[in-house]
Amino acid sequence: MMHVFLLLVYLGDGDQRRLISNDMYFESVVRCNFFAKEISRRYGNYNHIEYLNPDDKVTAYCIPKYIKKGSVGVY
């Protein structure tokens, strides 16, 4: 058994929020948080956050998990 960090990625906001990824496991929380930050970064000509469509909002964060060693691929 080993501790890892699972990256969860959600798309949308409020009642429209849905889980779109829950299969990326990382050995290091630092590496997991790097990808969470990069995945949730948005580019565009948004001068104000209110112009961002709520359906395009991305939330990504890491949670600790205890898994059987070798049961999943770990980055």
pLDDT higher than 90, residue 73: yes
Which residues, other chains included, contact 12 with Cβ-Cβ below 8 Å and sequence gap of 6+? 18, 54, 55, 57
Query: What is the per-residue pLDDT for 31?
Result: 98
Residue 10 to residue 61: CA distance in whole angstroms: 9
pTM (predicted TM-score) = 0.86
